[in-house]
Chains A and B, each alone.
Chain A
Amino acid sequence: MRILIEGGRVIDPANTVDDVLDVLIEDGRIAAVGPSRSARDAAPPDRVLDARGKVVCPGFVDLHVHLREPGREDKETIATGTRAAARGGFTTVCCMPNTSPVNDNQSVTEFILDRARREGSVNVFPVGAITKGQQGAELAEIGELVRAGCVAISDDGKPVMNAEIMRRALEYAGMFGVPVIQHAEDLHLTGTGVMHEGLVSTELGMRGIPAASEAVIVARDLLLTELTGGRYHVAHITTAEALRLVRDGKAKGLKVTCEVCPHHFALTDEAVRTFSTNAKMSPPLRSARHVEAIKAGLRDGTIDAIATDHAPHTIQEKEQEFDYAPNGIIGLETAFGLTITVLVEGEVLSLSQAIARLTCEPARVFNLPKGTLAVGADADVTIVDPTREWVVDVKRFASKSRNSPFHGWKMRGEVLATIVGGKVVWELEG
């Protein structure tokens, strides 16, 4: 199957490409990337995609999604979650292990991979648990998890609170070359907090989670990373203090990386004033000071990747009193729009830098052979229009869930088509 993507502006930061070029796909791989018309002359393609005036880039890589299967298929399945990914321009997702049962053994890993092969629209790489049952007490069979296909380990949803366990996880995972991802918060400092501790929580009388809750764990873990020489990745970083620590850690040569979620650069804790539970997530939306630090961190490269932490929840669970609603929002289908609208239009990142944070940088963090349009690479390609305006309508989402605070938002930057392994898995109508 030959597909020619013709006349688009190809932005491929992995190979420092930013030019109007044709991309030829053959048998699921990138066959050629060259000046217009050169590829077409060789042999007639089965399909031509007219990308003139559009941007062609590697398919996006999301290091952090919750596909909810096995266990909570009412919120999302591998089938619906990967369709949502495709709609959002993501061709690779890494799914977190806080399923039911937890992905702390090869059987669950194999189940996920099997489901993904049969029903998934995009590449799925599972993240295995650090500890058995994510209970934080004993290491999971990390060797088996990696052998079965896990690309990283995490107890996400929860932090590893025990420093000794964290130390051993960094050492042990080091044997298999996979990073340890930490959901960084100190549960004691968090307590029963439901939002960021700041002026807004003081006015609303809601229990706050101080920025220190994230920072103290990152500080501790960086010392452990230094001790062990392990690879450490901070999930969904949100605070100026944690960013400062990561910046210093990188300067010292520690193997530390981090990701940020679009909602943490698009919203502040002011969003909680309406008491909408779509403003409730963990870690919480922070104050403007931290959002500024996040933007600075994206600009100076302290933040490696943009990841969604796509967290589907049923309508009835989110329709509860704020304290009782589960944490999290969906994000696969708004990530690109938010990245363009807030970061590129907001002059925090250039278009090319933004695409890097969605493609080659996340791929590098987990050592995935993705996020590139090099000849021979898997034909995972996304075609976008970064100038097109659209209005978010959650009712049209492919995700099973609807918990997004961005419903009704005017966005700039729309995904037009998503190709995975040389197959067009999604196209925008018209």
Chain B
Amino acid sequence: MAVGLKRKDLLGIQDLTVEEVGLILDTATSMKEIASRDIKKVPTLRGKTIINLFYEPSTRTRTSFEIAGKWMSADVVNISTAGSSVVKGESLKDTGLTLQAMHPDIVVIRHPVAGAPKLLAGYLRASVINAGDGAHEHPTQALLDLFTIRERRGTLQGLKAAIVGDIVHSRVARSNIFAMQKVGMQVRVCGPATMLPRYLDRLGVEVYKRIEPAIADVDVIMMLRVQLERQGAGLFPTLREYSKLFGLNLDRLKAAKQDVLIMHPGPINRGVEIAPEVADGPYSLILNQVENGLAIRMALLYLLAGGPAGANS
């Protein structure tokens, strides 16, 4: 029996109900098993076409969507706009209409502008999955993060998480804030004052400008990458100072819970926001996140395009 998401597109966590989040996580649990098989192939999406349309660079997300599609027997096409007519100035609308004329079932888009996936979804009959739009949302990341926490802790309700880093520019932070609150977790954010967006407290998030109190007695610490470009914009003086004030190292971890989970969406800047010993240490779930990304993406591709009835009707 087909149990699909009753929606055409996955544009953001904010749109999802807590039941839909549960459905995606539960479906991912059964998908995860495929990775441990000798022959990583199921026929679920045979005959379906998936196009990955990436306007920004990506290692994890793109590879993981590609592998997820291929393991499920779909035909997967990757378009990286640098090598496409987008460099000739072709608009998102025309790109969308052109792709639609080739009858894809799913288009996965990553784009530097918030709202671009929604704009594209309006032009496509195909399902659109947001793989990251500007600093707005990265819903599949938040879903795999929740999945990873639930896998370790068994439950999500009541857990405390601290997200540390350049919150204002982070779609991972936003999607995680929305996702964690949706499932009943308490969320803290931490970063320099210049990198904390205003009014976060109105969303029920606790805001910290020092890392030590932020990570004290939380169950999950999620570190975010700090970009050098932000230095030029007057948001902080140097990576050196950032690392001294906000970097997660073994010493700082002493203030956290004994069995705290360390997470990072990647790519990591070793030695900047996270010390190598922490990234490679026993409580780091960074590589589990990557593995779970595959399961979550297989689950989503299935829920949007798979099954006898599909979900697009």
The answer, yes or no, to whether B88 is at the interface (CB within 8 Å) is no
Main secondary structure of the interface of A (DSSP, over half): loop
In the complex, A320 Cα to B135 Cα: how many Å? 18
Are B93 and A323 neighbours in the complex by a CB distance under 8 Å? Answer: no
The answer, yes or no, to whether A324 is at the interface (CB within 8 Å) is yes
Are A204 and B91 neighbours in the complex by a CB distance under 8 Å? Answer: no
Q: Which residues of A contact B233 (CB under 8 A)?
A: 191
Name the interface residues of B182-201: CB closer than 8 Å to any CB of A: 197-200
Are B198 and A205 neighbours in the complex by a CB distance under 8 Å? Answer: no
Are B114 and A275 neighbours in the complex by a CB distance under 8 Å? Answer: yes
Are A205 and B136 neighbours in the complex by a CB distance under 8 Å? Answer: yes
- Could you pull out 29 A-B pairs where Cβ atoms are within 8 angstroms? A199-B198, A199-B203, A202-B197, A202-B199, A202-B203, A203-B14, A203-B174, A204-B114, A204-B115, A205-B134, A205-B135, A205-B171, A206-B134, A206-B135, A207-B135, A275-B114, A275-B118, A275-B119, A319-B91, A320-B92, A321-B111, A321-B119, A322-B113, A322-B115, A322-B119, A323-B112, A323-B113, A323-B134, A324-B113
In the complex, A205 Cα to B14 Cα: how many Å? 13
Residues of B within 8 A of A (CB): 14, 91-93, 111-116, 118-119, 134-137, 169-171, 174, 197-200, 202-203, 233
Residues of A within 8 A of B (CB): 191, 197-199, 201-207, 275, 316, 319-324
Q: Knowing A204-B136, A316-B91, A319-B91 are in contact, say whether A275-B200 is a contact too (CB < 8 A).
A: no
Q: Which residues of A contact B202 (CB under 8 A)?
A: 199
Interface residue from A198, A275, A316, A323 paired with B198 (Cβ < 8 Å): A198
Which of A202, A316, A320, A323 lies at the interface centre, i.e. has the most chain B CB atoms within 10 A of its CB?
Answer: A202
In the complex, A322 Cα to B118 Cα: how many Å? 11
Nearest B residue (CB) for A195? B114
Nearest A residue (CB) for B199? A199
Interface residue from B111, B174, B199 paired with A205 (Cβ < 8 Å): B174
CB distance from B195 to the nearest CB of A (A): 12
Q: Knowing A198-B198, A275-B119 are in contact, say whether A205-B137 is a contact too (CB < 8 A).
A: yes
In the complex, A257 Cα to B92 Cα: how many Å? 42
Q: Which residues of A contact B198 (CB under 8 A)?
A: 197-199, 202
In the complex, A322 Cα to B116 Cα: how many Å? 8
Which of A191, A204, A206 lies at the interface centre, i.e. has the most chain B CB atoms within 10 A of its CB?
Answer: A204
The 10 closest A-B pairs by CB, nearest first: A275-B115, A205-B135, A205-B136, A321-B113, A202-B197, A199-B199, A323-B113, A321-B116, A322-B115, A202-B199
In the complex, A357 Cα to B177 Cα: how many Å? 45
Are A320 and B114 neighbours in the complex by a CB distance under 8 Å? Answer: no
In the complex, A197 Cα to B170 Cα: how many Å? 16
Q: Knowing A275-B119, A316-B91 are in contact, say whether A206-B114 is a contact too (CB < 8 A).
A: yes
CB distance from B130 to the nearest CB of A (A): 12
Q: Which residues of A contact B199 (CB under 8 A)?
A: 198-199, 202
Q: Which residues of A contact B111 (CB under 8 A)?
A: 321
Known: A198-B198, A202-B200, A322-B113. 14 other contacts (CB 8 A): A201-B197, A202-B197, A202-B203, A203-B14, A205-B134, A205-B137, A205-B169, A205-B174, A206-B136, A275-B118, A275-B119, A320-B91, A321-B119, A324-B113
In the complex, A252 Cα to B134 Cα: how many Å? 46
Which of A191, A204, A321, A323 lies at the interface centre, i.e. has the most chain B CB atoms within 10 A of its CB?
Answer: A321
CB distance from B38 to the nearest CB of A (A): 42
Nearest B residue (CB) for A197? B198
In the complex, A316 Cα to B92 Cα: how many Å? 11
Which of B115, B169, B170 lies at the interface centre, i.e. has the most chain A CB atoms within 10 A of its CB?
Answer: B115
CB distance from A324 to the nearest CB of B (A): 7
In the complex, A132 Cα to B30 Cα: how many Å? 68
In the complex, A377 Cα to B7 Cα: how many Å? 62
In the complex, A316 Cα to B199 Cα: how many Å? 34
Are B114 and A322 neighbours in the complex by a CB distance under 8 Å? Answer: yes
Are B93 and A319 neighbours in the complex by a CB distance under 8 Å? Answer: yes
CB distance from B227 to the nearest CB of A (A): 15
Q: Which residues of B contact A204 (CB under 8 A)?
A: 114-115, 136
In the complex, A316 Cα to B202 Cα: how many Å? 37
In the complex, A275 Cα to B137 Cα: how many Å? 13
In the complex, A198 Cα to B135 Cα: how many Å? 15
CB distance from A168 to the nearest CB of B (A): 30
In the complex, A318 Cα to B111 Cα: how many Å? 18
In the complex, A143 Cα to B134 Cα: how many Å? 47
Nearest B residue (CB) for A275? B115
Interface residue from A191, A197, A275, A321 paired with B92 (Cβ < 8 Å): A321
In the complex, A205 Cα to B11 Cα: how many Å? 14
CB distance from A279 to the nearest CB of B (A): 11
Nearest A residue (CB) for B133? A205
Which of A198, A199, A205, A206 lies at the interface centre, i.e. has the most chain B CB atoms within 10 A of its CB?
Answer: A205
CB distance from B80 to the nearest CB of A (A): 18
In the complex, A197 Cα to B198 Cα: how many Å? 8
In the complex, A238 Cα to B137 Cα: how many Å? 29
Q: Which residues of B contact A206 (CB under 8 A)?
A: 114, 134-136
CB distance from B100 to the nearest CB of A (A): 16
In the complex, A322 Cα to B111 Cα: how many Å? 12
CB distance from A189 to the nearest CB of B (A): 11
In the complex, A207 Cα to B197 Cα: how many Å? 10
In the complex, A202 Cα to B167 Cα: how many Å? 10
Q: Which residues of A contact B203 (CB under 8 A)?
A: 199, 202-203
Nearest A residue (CB) for B136? A205
In the complex, A202 Cα to B93 Cα: how many Å? 27
In the complex, A202 Cα to B198 Cα: how many Å? 7
In the complex, A322 Cα to B171 Cα: how many Å? 17
Q: Which residues of B contact A197 (CB under 8 A)?
A: 198
In the complex, A307 Cα to B116 Cα: how many Å? 32
Nearest A residue (CB) for B135? A205
